[in-house]
Amino acid sequence: MATPILSINNLSIDYPISIGTVKAVEDVSIDLYEGEALGLVGESGCGKSTLGLSILRIVRPPGKIVAGKMLYKSEDILKMKEKEVLKLRGNNIAMVFQNPLTSLNPLMRLDRHFLETIQRHDPGIQKQEALEKAEDILDKLGIEKQRLYEFPHQFSGGMRQRIMIGLGLIMNPDIIIADEPTTSLDVIVEAGFVDLLNNLRKEFNLSIILITHNLGLVAEIVDRVAVMYGGQIMEIGTADQIFHTPKHPYTHGLITCVPNIKLDQEVLTTMEGNPPDLVNPPAGCRFSPRCPKVMEVCREKAPGFTFFGDGHKAACWLNDHGGTG
């Protein structure tokens, strides 16, 4: 793989609140390559959505990006002017949110949703041309063209989610960030969505960042996985490395605590305890209070990354002693 299309370097995002500062994202570095699908997994509150939004430079106040660089094709998004960021959103990097019903305006027919998006990015375009573009994309999503003149409530849940993808794709971006795109969908519909996403990916040569806690979905779609915990990256590797040879106990726990329909599991791995308090995070490794393999050093010093080749790296002290997670 050549140079990354998006390169996040040492990114930190803070939320100053009355009782201190929430370190929502701390010192995160990830590369996304062209045509690649990257999964960002972790439990609620681990900072994955904050990280996803920050790529479009959307950070809800009082949150602030306090350090780091975010290079999109070697241009730093964090240094761009507001106007440039507006152009970047949608044209180059698009976002698909979790709940399509709250993202679509119930009073607007689909054509207006599409027109608004297209004209915003391309003010000179003729209405007719814009509508044709919208019809084309609906066609690709498997929705009949005539339905462009219907309201969001007239579509089923799966269709609404496809429409959201369509709105994201209409300006032909290189990167799509999908934040829990299937949580509101049923299994069969979800599987259809996975098929669609995989097809679109090839057709548009898309790079995808998939933010989710659903490991099944991750295994179906992505090439590489980044595991987040308490605002930090615990492990990054290819899907194969993460699922088959995880090097971090948290990754291992995350993978073995979900029921797998293909296996006859007697017991599931359980992780006692709660996610860390990000105002006063535990000293040393943030996972140490819940880690089944915790050692003395884990509570004292935060581990650095150990590299295992092929881009696989994990932040755990065990690996310095030849152990595996």
Positions touching another protein (CB under 8 A) are 43-44, 142, 156-159, 186-192, 194-195, 213-220, 239-240, 243-244, 253-255, 257-262, 265, 267-272, 274-275
In a 3-state reduction of DSSP, which class is residue 299?
helix
* Identity of the residue, 42 or 90, whose beta carbon is nearer to another protein in the bound complex: 42
Nearer to another protein, 15 or 193 (CB): 193
- Least Cβ distance, residue 300 to another protein (angstroms): 25
- Residue 293 φ/ψ, nearest 5 degrees: -115, 30
Structure tokens, 60: 């809800």
- Quick one: which of 168, 137, 138, 133 has its CA closest to 150? 138
Shortest CB 225 distance to another protein, Å: 9
CA 215, 220, 221, 223: dihedral to nearest 10 degrees?
80
Smallest distance from the beta carbon of 124 to another protein, in angstroms? 37
* Cβ distance to another protein smaller for residue 94 or 314: 314
Question: Shortest approach of another protein to residue 256 CB, angstroms?
Answer: 8
Q: How far is the CB of 285 from another protein (least distance, A)?
A: 17
Instruction: Note whether 105 and 174 are within 8 A (CB).
Output: no
Question: CA-CA distance, 229 to 46, in Å (whole number)?
Answer: 5
Shortest distance, position 52 Cβ to another protein, whole Å = 18
Q: For the beta carbon of residue 1, count every other beta carbon within 10 angstroms.
A: 10
Q: Which is nearer to another protein, 34 or 220 (CB)?
A: 220
Query: Across the strands, what pairs with 178?
Result: 96, 210
Which CB sits closer to another protein, 35 or 192? 192
Which of 6, 185 has the CB closer to another protein?
A: 185
Instruction: Spell out where the chain has E strands.
Output: 6-17, 20-32, 37-41, 64-72, 75-76, 93-96, 175-179, 207-212, 224-229, 232-238, 306-307, 313-314
| Three-state DSSP state, 8 | strand
| Closer of 129 and 144 to another protein (Cβ) | 144
Q: Give min distance, CB of 257 to another protein, in A.
A: 4
